Chains A and B, each alone.
Chain A
Amino acid sequence: MMPVTEDELADVIRDADGPLEVRGGGTRGIACKGAIVSTAGLTGITLYEPGALTLVVKAGTPLAEVEAALAAEGQRLAFEPTDMRRLLGTGGEPTIGGVVATNASGPRRIQVGACRDHLLGVRFVDGTGNIVKNGGRVMKNVTGYDLVKLLAGSYGTLGVMTEVSLKVLPLPQAMASVAITGLDDMQAVAAMSAALGSPYDVTGAAFVNGRVVVRLEGFGESVTYRAEKLMRELATFGAASVTDFDWQALRDCAVFGNRSGDVWRVSIRPSRMPDTVAALRAGGEVDVIADWGGGLLWVLCRAERDLRADITTGHATRVRGTGGAFPRFHPEPAPVATLSTGLRRRFDPRRILNPGVMG
């Protein structure tokens, strides 16, 4: 089914007599047993005001179209939405609705926040066919409860988004990556923490193959100035140099794309990175890439291994792989699960929207 208006979508959901799989571009590996409801008929930029840093766009609009429109005005989605196609081997075109529904946020999250932090408003159809709006298109808005953030990252389980408003930001004039090689986990976290705790406005901090890479963005002279300052400040960890680094590949975890095994995202506080990685290694062979200054681990491991058995802090989500008797998302403690279940029951009483995708 491919409704072309919000009202049509509401009818589809109201009249559904069984589970529905909500589909944007179908690139993020979220599937369930149900009739497919596509947002591909709900497309187009409703409003774009570069001078107000705001964009209102229909949920099924291809991400590429959104990014092209913003680039033409020297702006961008600053939270760096991930593109999962290389990692998951999926086809299709990512949509803006899919980005929001999965709160897909890249390396810049540590500085500007996640997708949810840039989401100003949503329109959605809940599981009973009610059309609901929340938030708006202005930067500061505390009018009523913030269902905007609740919908971000809800994987289509509370409602099907039809339109989203986003805060956009200027594209920087220049970018530089500063790297230090030959570090172990402990030294790497210390170096990234030093960079992120500096006044130099770091917009990315990753640890890949023994190499810490830190990103700076802004006006040309400013980037040069900060890169030099930062290299001096990080000298205690080793010789730092300006380097080339593929931030997009890091964002998408593309390097695990052509390797077999399951892939997980583990979210922890950065200082727990070394002991968490050690625990994961003790439990079997893993390959780890660290982003967010050590706060996000992309982990490649053998299929059907339950990584949660080995971590003692934070939480883990499996993003690739289906075997094994454990859920995709980290089980919540009982009182929290009660709240999540209660919300799902209220927004989707028949439990027909992406059933089983989240819990």
Chain B
Amino acid sequence: MQMPDPSARVIALKERLAERLRQVLAADAVISDVSETRAYECDGLSAYRCPPLLAVLPASTQEVSDVLRICHEMGVPVVPRGSGTSLAGGAMPTADSVILGVSRLNAVMETNYADRIIRVQTGRTNLSVTGAVEGAGFFYAPDPSSQLACAIAGNIAMNSGGAHCLKYGVTTNNLLGVTMVMMDGTVVEIGGAHLDAPGLDLLGLICGSEGQLGVVTEATLRILRKPEGARPVLIGFNGNAIAGACVSDIIKAGVLPVAIEFMDRPCIEACEAFAHAGYPDCEAVLIIEVEGSDTEIDHQLALIGEIAARHDPVEVREAQDADQAARIWLGRKSAFGAMGQINDYMCLDGTIPVTELPNVLDRIRQMSAEYGLDVANVFHAGDGNMHPLILYNANTPGDLERCEAFGAAILKLCVEVGGCLTGEHGVGIEKRDLMHVQFNAADLEAQMAVKDVFDPGWLLNPAKVFPLDASEAHRAA
């Protein structure tokens, strides 16, 4: 992974910068000791590491503003960090950058059930947002699988999704307003508890901008009343194509489940060995969850059952109680852990049109043989967001490179069939150099023009998202 050479000028500023930051932050909020900055050397993409110049942990929007103003004055790059769970390297530092962690910004500012909103500081974890409102029967819908740890700041930066997007949408569909600090320290308020934007939809632009446009310190989020109940059904099939056709038929029939999860044979087998969830021995499994009252659930599951029956299922297993529901989800939820036990793995995130599922799965199987690396597929089938897990051994020389080449080939295939490089993880550094596959020069220039407007000096998370050759002129300007 190529990164720009760290600036010797900036590295030489370390002591002076630390001194200035200590004037505006609490003593323990400026981390400069090399042994301590190492804690911030990587995020969830742990194959790439680099300790930052400094790390700071501001505790208020004002402190974030002070930090950014100082870094702006001194020309120092800043890498914002939520909880560091990014799988794309979005929070990976460079040697000449300051990590700005928002973990101390974790308060709930306002909860309003009449307006169905919560306003939080963005260091708060995703799950604890739901935690703050579930007593009243509400929840925050986007549920990335890292939700126990990941911060709202990172969710906004990456426009995180989750398993229940088919019905509830992703972060951008549930974000109503932000307080954001610009690189020069200016604080802007965008949106609020109302729905319409007064002018251009800047909120939509900020969400998913990977920490390159500003640091979001507070967010107004939409909260929803929990449904009366939810129930999953597990359906086993004799082939990927059959399972894919079943997904398509369910959607066409007008049923809109909250989740449709797909697992292929390698994934089913690994999960069985790991979690013993009792999954059937077959080529593909769908886990479909529907919501509502008991009667509504019965009705929807009956419809789904009828449709599945036309696709010659190996098994249809409807949860009869909470315990059975948990067992159905057990295998799916332990998929990543199960893979981790077998080997190191790389998790991809390309999205494809749902209708291309069978074709893409076949192609991935062929490529798996060509590259000599196993791959298991587990993904959100309702929205076409794939998560192929490529297994490799980090200790075998050349394996990581082979895995990365295989991954790139899969992502190119996703684009080729009408999809995209990343559905919910973000580009970061991981998919940065593949952006040319999906976008031409004019497409990338239009996006980089936005960064030019928000952060003219390209100091915020500068070497991410855009291929270095494409962004070079902007970064140097």
Among A149, A267, A329, point to the contact of B205 (Cβ < 8 A): A149
Which B173-207 residues have C-beta < 8 A from chain A? Answer: 173, 182, 186-190, 192-205, 207
Residues on B with beta carbons closer than 8 Å to the beta carbon of A335: 182, 186-188
Whether the pair A359, B205 counts as a contact (CB closer than 8 A) is no
Chain A residue nearest to B356 (CB atoms) is A52
Of the candidates B182, B354, B427, B445, the one whose C-beta lies within 8 Å of that of A143 is B427
For the complex, what is the distance from the CA of A15 to the CA of B354, rounded to whole Å? 41
- Write out the residue numbers on chain B whose beta carbons fall within 8 Å of the beta carbon of A130: 442, 445-446
Is residue B380 within 8 Å, beta carbon to beta carbon, of the partner chain?
Answer: yes
A-B contact pairs, 27 of them (CB 8 A): A52-B248, A52-B384, A53-B354, A74-B252, A116-B204, A132-B443, A132-B446, A137-B353, A138-B352, A143-B420, A144-B438, A147-B450, A149-B172, A149-B204, A169-B256, A196-B116, A219-B300, A221-B299, A222-B299, A269-B115, A271-B114, A292-B195, A295-B195, A315-B196, A330-B199, A343-B200, A346-B450
Is A142's beta carbon under 8 Å from chain B? yes
Contact check, A295 vs B384: say whether CB atoms are below 8 A apart: no
B215 CB to closest chain A CB, in angstroms? 14
The 8 Å CB contact of A190, one of B114, B137, B200, B353, is B114
Interface residue B293 (Cβ < 8 Å from any Cβ of A): yes
Q: Contacts of B446 on A, CB cut-off 8 Å? A: 126, 130, 132, 134, 147, 347
Closest B residue to A137 by CB, please name it.
B418
Query: Hey, which chain B residues are within 8 Å of A103, CB to CB?
Result: 197, 201
Q: A134-B443, A147-B450 are in contact. Are A152 and B421 (CB under 8 A)?
A: no
Question: Is there an interface contact between B293 and A343, defined as CB atoms closer than 8 Å?
Answer: no
Q: For A344, give the chain B residue with the smallest CB separation.
A: B200
Chain A contributes a number of interface residues (CB within 8 A of B) equal to 85
Q: Residue B454 contacts which of A142, A330, A339 (CB distance < 8 angstroms)?
A: A339
B146 at the interface (CB under 8 A from A): no
Residues of A within 8 A of B300 (CB): 219
B372 near A: Cβ within 8 Å? no
Cβ–Cβ contact A138 & B195, under 8 A: no
Say which residue of A143, A271, A296, A339 sits within 8 Å of B438 (CB atoms): A143
- B395-444 contacts to A (CB < 8 Å): 418-427, 431, 435, 438-439, 442-444
A129: shortest Cβ distance to chain B, in Å? 10
B353 touches A138 (CB 8 A): yes
Q: How far is the CB of B210 from chain A (nearest CB, A)?
A: 8
Which residues of A lie under 8 Å from residue B435 when comparing CB positions? 143-144
Chain A residue numbers with a CB within 8 Å of B201 are 103, 116, 149-150, 152-154
Q: How far is the CA of A113 from the CA of B170 in the complex (A)?
A: 11
Chain A positions within 8 Å of B194 at CB level: 267-269, 295, 314-315
CA of A49 to CA of B190 in the docked complex: distance in angstroms? 35
What separation, in Å, do the CA atoms of A296 and B256 have in the docked complex? 28
Chain B residues in 8 Å Cβ range of A340: 199-200, 202
Determine whether the beta carbon of A269 is less than 8 Å from that of B193. Answer: yes
B453 touches A339 (CB 8 A): yes
Complex interface: chain B residues within 8 A of A146 (CB): 159, 172, 204-205, 207-209
Residues of chain B with a CB closer than 8 A to A190's CB:
114
| Pair B355/A150 contact, Cβ less than 8 Å | no
Instruction: Verify B355–A52 contact, CB threshold 8 A.
Output: yes
Chain A 54-76: CB-based contact to B (< 8 A → 1; otherwise 0): 10000000000000000001100
Chain B CB within 10 A, most for which of A131, A154, A339? A339
What is the CA–CA distance of A134 and B169 in the complex, to the nearest angstrom?
19
A51 touches B256 (CB 8 A): no
Chain A residue with minimal CB distance to B294?
A225
Tell me whether B424 and A133 are in contact (CB under 8 A).
Answer: no
Is B161's beta carbon under 8 Å from chain A? yes
Given contacts A267-B194, A339-B453, A358-B199, contact A138 B418 (CB under 8 A): yes
Is A259 in the interface zone, CB < 8 Å from B? no
Q: Are A144 and B295 in contact (CB under 8 A)?
A: no
**CB <8 Å contact, B355 and A49:** yes
Interface segment among B19-27, B225-233, B323-331, B338-346: the answer is: B225-233
B115, B161, B195, B426: which contacts A271 (Cβ < 8 A)? B115
B198 contact set on A, CB distance < 8 A: 267, 315, 317, 329-330, 332
In the assembly, what is the distance between CA of A346 and CA of B446, in Å?
A: 8
Interface check A243, CB cutoff 8 A:
no
Query: Contact between A199 and B227 (Cβ–Cβ < 8 Å)?
Result: yes
- Known contacts: A143-B420, A152-B201, A317-B198. The answer to whether A225 contacts B296 by CB under 8 A is yes
A residues near B418, Cβ cutoff 8 Å: 136-138
* Chain B neighbourhood of A143, CB < 8 A: 420-422, 427, 431, 435, 438
Contact digits for B157-171, partner A, Cβ 8 Å, 1 yes 0 no? 011010001100110
A190–B247 CA distance with the chains assembled, in angstroms: 40
Bound-state CA distance A130–B194 (Å) is: 34
A140 contacts across to B, CB distance below 8 A:
161, 165, 170, 351, 380, 383-385, 423-424
| Interface residue A320 (Cβ < 8 Å from any Cβ of B) | no
Q: For A116, A134, A139, A267, which residue has the most chain B Cβ atoms within 10 angstroms?
A: A139
Closest A residue by C-beta to B442:
A130
0 or 1 for each of A146-172: is its CB under 8 Å from B? (1 = yes): 111110111000100000000001111
Which residue, A110, A130, A145, A219, has most C-beta atoms of chain B within 10 A?
A145
A227 smallest CB distance to B (angstroms): 12
A142 touches B116 (CB 8 A): no
Interface string of B263-298 (1 = CB under 8 A from A): 000000000000000000000000000001101100
Q: Which of A109, A314, A346 contacts B449 (CB 8 A)?
A: A346
The answer, among A53, A117, A199, A358, for a CB contact under 8 Å with B251, is A53
B254 at the interface (CB under 8 A from A): yes
> A198: CB under 8 A from chain B?
yes
Contact check, B453 vs A343: say whether CB atoms are below 8 A apart.
yes
